[in-house]
């Protein structure tokens, strides 16, 4: 197959880049971008590679964001072909990172190359924000690039993240937002004692049960046009010594909210604490805000993406906020409009991860069409 997106994708898929390693991917990409007039800047920390490459100094600023790191391969003997030796079989390109998300990175580079060749004096600016710390802790990746950009007053007008958003066929779904994540560790205190003498103690499991039942039954919100209702789920629960004749002295419960723009972290915290207090529990709680929700409604970027997918793929796309979170949670702080648009997600993180060959030039064409619509006026 002779296609520039395929060739670049194959080149960077061959780079072993298990998080937080980049494996040389960004050097390859920087070498493609520099002759186009991009100013290359590496903002690295704690072994993580981060690339900020910008062409132009004026607004609007259009950014392609993504990551070059991949999840571990899993058992090598279960792969049909080596995960970092990309191979074509039956119309599919196999290798770790094909779907998530080296093919999207390659498509964004080739789209920009074609766009600049056709519009060398285009208005505004183009940029790439790439990291090797998305699949891991995400503490030294996109978040520190965003901090650096904020510190020097740079903001983004448009951003596309190439996460694998499609379900059955390229372009059938794109993400225009993601839910927030708020976790907590609740420790309910009791008094340990012999189980034959419950009057001498307080069983935190029994005391917490009615509160947990109320929390599980609570309607936190009803969602909105783009988001489903907020959910609250217990993920871990532990109490007791392991013995059958001891009432435990405490109960630890770990839980998580997945919430939309219909609620705030502060509001959810207050409501949960109100329920615990209503049940007169003696407790401690520690909170972790993993991500705030973000949303791009109908507007120039969403309209351009819808048009591009219709032109290239011949289908109507669906705007969705389902799924987990992404580095968009960091970029949203400095970006006006942001979408995630990428290939089919079916094999991400799996053994024999793959992408349809025909989707590679199409994805590049989608990205270029969006640029044509937004960056030539």
- Arithmetic mean of pLDDT, 125-135: 97
Task: For residue range 49-68, list pLDDT tens digits in order.
Answer: 999 999 999 999 999 999 99
* Percent over 70 (pLDDT), the chain: 100
Residue among 69, 100, 140, 372 flagged as catalytic: 69
Q: What is the pTM of this model?
A: 0.88
Q: Is the pLDDT of residue 1 over 70?
A: no
- Sign (positive or negative) of CA dihedral 13, 17, 23, 28: positive
Can 137 be counted among the known catalytic residues? no
b/e per residue 266-293 (b: at least 16 CB within 10 A) = eebbeebeeebeebebebeeeeeebbbb
Identify the pLDDT of residue 39: 98
- What is the average pLDDT across 253-264? 96
Residues constituting the chain: 377
134 is catalytic: yes
Least confident of 41-55, 151-165, 289-303: 289-303
**The pair of three-digit structure tokens given for residue 189, joined into one six-digit string:** 């205190």
pLDDT value of position 322: 87
Q: For 183-235, write each residue's pLDDT tens digit.
A: 999 999 999 999 999 999 999 999 999 999 999 999 999 999 889 999 999 99
Report how many helices (DSSP H) and strands (DSSP E) the chain contains, helices first.
9, 19
Q: What is the mean pLDDT of residues 140-151?
A: 97
Q: What are residue 373's phi and psi, to 5 degrees?
A: -75, -35
As given in the structure block, the two tokens for residue 288 are 């972790």
pLDDT single digits (tens) 74-85 = 999 999 999 999
| Active-site position among 100, 113, 133, 134 | 134
Sheet holding 180-189, edge to edge: 231-239, 250-259, 180-189, 283-291
Cβ-based neighbours of 349, under 8 Å, separated by 6 or more: 71, 100
Give pLDDT, residue 2. Answer: 80
Residue 306 scores a pLDDT above 70: yes
pLDDT in tens, 312-355: 999 999 999 988 788 999 999 999 999 999 999 999 999 999 99
Quick check: 132 pLDDT over 90?
yes
């Amino acid at each position: 197959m002779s296609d520039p997106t395929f060739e670049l994708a194959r080149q960077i898929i061959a780079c072993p880049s298990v998080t937080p390693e980049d494996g040389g991917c960004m050097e390859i990409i920087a070498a493609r971008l520099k002759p186009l007039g991009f100013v290359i800047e590496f903002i690295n920390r704690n072994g993580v590679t981060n690339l900020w490459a910008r062409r132009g100094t004026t607004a609007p600023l259009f950014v392609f964001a993504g990551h070059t790191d991949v999840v571990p391969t899993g058992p090598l003997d279960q792969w049909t072909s080596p995960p970092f030796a990309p191979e074509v079989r039956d119309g599919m390109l196999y290798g770790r990172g094909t779907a998530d998300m080296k093919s999207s990175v390659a498509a964004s580079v080739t789209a920009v190359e074609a766009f600049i060749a056709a519009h060398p004096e285009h208005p505004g600016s183009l940029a790439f924000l790439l990291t090797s710390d998305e699949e891991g802790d995400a503490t030294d990746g996109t978040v520190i690039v965003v901090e650096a950009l904020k510190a020097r007053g740079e903001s983004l007008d448009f951003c596309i993240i190439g996460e694998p958003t499609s379900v059955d066929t390229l372009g059938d779904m794109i993400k225009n937002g993601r839910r927030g994540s708020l976790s907590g560790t609740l420790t309910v205190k009791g008094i340990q004692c012999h189980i034959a003498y419950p009057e001498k103690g307080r069983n935190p499991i029994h005391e917490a049960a009615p509160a947990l039942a109320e929390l599980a039954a609570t309607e936190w919100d009803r969602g909105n046009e783009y988001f489903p209702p907020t959910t609250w789920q217990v993920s871990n629960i532990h109490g007791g010594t392991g013995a059958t004749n001891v009432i435990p002295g405490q109960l630890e419960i770990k839980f998580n909210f997945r919430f939309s723009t219909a609620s705030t972290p502060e509001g959810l915290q207050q409501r949960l604490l109100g329920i615990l207090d209503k049940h007169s529990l003696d407790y401690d709680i520690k909170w972790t805000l993993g991500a705030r929700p973000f949303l791009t409604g109908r507007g120039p970027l969403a309209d351009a993406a819808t048009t591009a997918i219709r032109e290239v793929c011949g289908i109507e796309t669906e705007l969705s906020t389902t799924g987990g979170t992404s580095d968009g949670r960091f970029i949203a702080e400095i970006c006006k409009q942001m979408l995630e648009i990428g290939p089919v997600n079916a094999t991400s993180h799996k053994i024999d991860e793959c992408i349809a060959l025909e989707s590679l030039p199409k994805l590049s064409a989608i990205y270029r069409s969006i640029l044509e619509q937004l960056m030539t006026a």
